[in-house]
């Protein structure tokens, strides 16, 4: 058994990226501020820690010169700050009764067991890699790859350095769109193949606006297509993928294909989403939800299968399911913005728990975990910028379908405006879709698609929704105005005002 004696409070963190390392450092800060002695071991199965996966598509596109620029904190910086970081160690067993974690050194196979007072699972998510993308040995076919970590980033940079001519992106979500941008900017003839309308986290009418922009940049977009197989060339590398129509394409989109269409590609990027890595939690007896993520309460305390909080067990980040802030529904929104916040909440509570250890039993437990994660609205932004086209996308709150599905009576409207006063050279078109609940007039969701300066406007809406604002509230809010930044009324405000007038 490794680690310090039980006189010191011991935290074992499994997974040393956004959630895990936010938690580790916050726990140390909180414990130190309270004069407590906390020892933190962080186990990470790869060679990487604390990097921005979000920056990988921009590294592949050539905006970032090398992968080291994406590292927020090096292993040495973590160690200098007091985290006992073990890279290349995979946690293979969690014993909740004995309070131990067993890890295997991936290079040597050596096993080590750590005792803990608190354990935090921050094992993240794994990209979806369908069987058709794998060879007989279960490895991705050469030329086909997902985009998840720095190794993928380096592999993509090397693949594009080999100057392929044609690229296929499978999946039309934000990672697919960002890889399509990278391919197009690298001069590849690019095809984007997707099951549903591009950007399925938007309403289809807003997604269609994104598709039109991407097509304007010369990317061939095939909507309503399910890739199910691939062909390999004589060199053993991918040559093309084949798809069958799903019927999920928009009517009149111009993308209605022949059955079994083939898309030639020297490289194929997979942007098919991610699933939570919750195997360790499941095997240990923690609760895992219908969406596959570890279940926690809002203090990031892991739940047992009976739904009760399990003392000393915590989870944060992409390995967890999230709770929708207003509806209370369990959702899965694997984003770095949530992973960092959830990690910080867990760390604060673990630090308090370390400081309070020995001073009270169950009665003191709530006081020792005061930090709470406020839930998610699904706020997200991205862009596609290549070949003279620049389209930004922002969204927050439920889509129309999600709002109707949760039983709400919804009114919505799309407004077209500009990102700056119309006479300014920087003015670009922006479309804003706003959704509100009939009766209560509460703002539910906002989606924006437009030129430079569009995406982050969604944050105004997210702040308003977070605080339960109505469309009338937003219509009257004191938002900023000067010609280079906005028309007199901000586009989100115009959309809310128009909807308010109609309701
Ligand atoms: C290409 C790309 C672009 C993205 N862009 C954005 C964006 O623009 N905005 C945004 O908000 N989010 C974005 N994200 C999502 C964001 O990167 C993730 O939400 C975030 O990294 C999640 O952090 P995490 O710590 O929960 O999980 P991860 O970052 O997945 O880290 C989990 C770590 O745990 C390790 N691990 C797993 N199991 C074990 C084990 N048994 N033992 C030891 N170690 C283990 C893994 O190796 C991994 O390093 C993007 C993701 C990708 C891939």
Q: How far is the CA of 36 from the centre of ligand 1 (A)?
A: 30
Q: Is any ligand 1 atom within 6 A of the Cβ of residue 17?
A: yes
Is any atom of ligand 1 closer than 6 Å to the C-beta of 323?
A: no
Q: Which of 381, 430, 376 is nearest to 174 (CA)?
A: 381
Q: Looking at residue 6, what is its pLDDT?
A: 65
pLDDT of residue 260: 77
Q: Which of 14, 41, 54, 278 to mutate to test the pocket of ligand 1 (most atoms within 8 A of CB)?
A: 54
Out of 124, 182, 318, give the residue to mutate to test ligand 1, the one with the largest number of ligand atoms within 8 Å of its CB: 124
In short, whether 14's Cβ falls inside 6 Å of ligand 1 is yes
Structure tokens at 369: 């975990």
Sign of CA dihedral 152, 153, 157, 160: positive
Share of the chain above pLDDT 90, in %: 91
**Rounded distance from Cα 276 to ligand 1 centre (Å):** 10
**Taking 80 as the threshold, does the pLDDT of residue 181 lie above it?**
yes
> Would you say the CB of residue 91 lies under 6 angstroms from ligand 1?
yes
Please indicate whether residue 19, judged by its CB atom, sits closer than 6 Å to ligand 1. yes
Q: What is the pLDDT of residue 327?
A: 84
Q: Is 301 exposed, middle or buried (0-12, 13-18, 19+ CB in 10 A)?
A: buried
Q: In the predicted model, is pLDDT for residue 383 greater than 80?
A: yes
The whole-model pTM stands at 0.94
Q: In what order do the strands lie in the sheet with 380-386?
A: 380-386, 389-396, 443-450, 429-437, 410-418
Place of tokens 């909440």: 345
Instruction: State residue 357's pLDDT score.
Output: 61
Please state the atom number of ligand 1 nearest to the C-alpha of residue 89: 43
Note the pLDDT tens digit of each residue in 207-243: 999 999 999 999 999 999 999 999 999 999 999 999 9
User: By three-state DSSP, how is residue 249 classified?
Assistant: coil
- Ligand 1 close to Cβ of residue 334 (< 6 A): yes
Calculate mean pLDDT across residues 315-336: 95
pLDDT higher for 254 or 354?
Answer: 354
pLDDT digits (tens, 9 = 90+) for 447-483: 999 999 999 999 999 999 999 999 999 999 999 999 9
43 CA distance to ligand 1 centroid (A)? Answer: 14
Nearest partner of 311 among 34, 117, 36, judged by Cα:
117
251, pLDDT greater than 50: no
Label residue 96 exposed, middle or buried (CB < 10 Å: 0-12, 13-18, 19+): middle
The string of pLDDT tens digits covering residues 436-448 is 999 999 999 999 9
Return the pLDDT at 360. 39
User: Cα of 153 to ligand 1 centre, how many Å?
Assistant: 13
Closest CA to 305 of 327, 284, 279, 324: 284
Q: For ligand 1, is residue 341 a contact (CB within 6 Å)?
A: no
Q: Is 61 in the pocket of ligand 1 (CB under 6 A)?
A: no
pLDDT digits (tens, 9 = 90+) for 21-36: 999 999 999 999 999 9
Residue nearest to atom 53 of ligand 1 (CA): 148
44 lines ligand 1 (CB under 6 A): yes
Among the residue ranges 134-143, 259-268, 297-306, 439-448, the one predicted with the least confidence is 259-268
Residue 450, SS3 per DSSP: strand
Residues 278-294 have a mean pLDDT of: 98
């Amino acid at each position: 058994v490794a680690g310090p004696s039980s006189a010191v409070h011991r935290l074992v963190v499994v997974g040393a990226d956004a959630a895990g390392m936010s938690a580790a450092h916050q726990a140390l800060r909180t414990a130190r501020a309270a004069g407590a002695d906390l020892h933190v071991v962080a186990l990470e199965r790869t060679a990487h820690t604390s990097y921005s996966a979000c920056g990988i598509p921009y590294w592949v596109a050539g905006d970032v010169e090398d992968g080291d620029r994406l590292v927020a904190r090096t292993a040495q910086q973590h160690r200098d700050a007091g985290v006992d970081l073990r890279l290349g160690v995979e946690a293979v067993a969690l014993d909740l009764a004995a309070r131990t974690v067993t890890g295997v050194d991936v290079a040597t196979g050596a096993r080590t067991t750590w005792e803990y007072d608190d354990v935090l699972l921050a094992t993240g998510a794994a990209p979806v890699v369908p069987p058709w993308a794998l060879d007989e040995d279960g490895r991705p076919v050469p030329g086909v790859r997902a985009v998840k970590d720095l190794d993928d980033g380096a592999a993509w940079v090397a693949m594009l350095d080999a100057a392929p001519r044609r690229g296929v992106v499978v999946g039309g979500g934000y990672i697919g769109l960002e890889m399509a941008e990278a391919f197009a900017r690298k001069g590849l003839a690019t095809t984007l193949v997707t099951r549903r309308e591009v950007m399925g986290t938007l309403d289809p009418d807003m997604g269609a606006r994104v598709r039109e922009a991407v097509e304007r940049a010369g990317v061939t977009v095939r909507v309503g297509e399910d890739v199910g197989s691939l062909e390999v060339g004589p060199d053993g590398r991918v040559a093309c993928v084949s798809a069958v129509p799903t019927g999920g394409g928009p009517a009149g989109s111009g993308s209605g294909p022949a059955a079994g269409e083939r898309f030639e590609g020297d490289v194929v990027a997979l942007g098919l989403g991610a699933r939570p890595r919750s195997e360790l939690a499941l095997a240990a007896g923690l609760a895992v939800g219908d969406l596959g993520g570890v279940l926690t309460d809002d203090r990031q305390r892991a739940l047992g299968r009976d739904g009760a909080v399990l003392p000393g067990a915590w989870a944060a980040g992409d390995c967890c399911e999230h709770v929708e802030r207003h509806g209370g529904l369990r959702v899965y929104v694997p984003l770095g913005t949530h992973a960092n916040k959830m990690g910080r909440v867990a760390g604060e509570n673990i630090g308090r728990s370390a400081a309070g250890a020995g001073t009270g039993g169950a009665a003191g437990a709530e006081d020792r975990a005061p930090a709470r994660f406020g839930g998610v609205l699904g706020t997200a932004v991205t862009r596609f910028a290549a070949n003279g086209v620049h389209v930004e996308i922002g969204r927050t709150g439920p889509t129309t379908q999600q709002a109707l599905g949760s039983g709400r009576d919804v009114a919505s409207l799309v407004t077209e405006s500009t990102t700056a006063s119309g006479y300014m050279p920087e003015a670009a078109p922006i479309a804003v879709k706003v959704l509100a609940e009939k009766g209560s007039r509460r703002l539910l969701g906002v989606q924006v698609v437009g030129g430079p300066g569009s995406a982050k406007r969604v944050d105004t809406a997210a702040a308003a929704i977070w605080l339960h604002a109505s469309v009338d509230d937003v219509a009257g809010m004191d938002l900023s105005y000067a010609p280079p930044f906005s028309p007199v009324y901000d586009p989100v405000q115009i959309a809310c005002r128009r909807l308010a007038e109609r309701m």
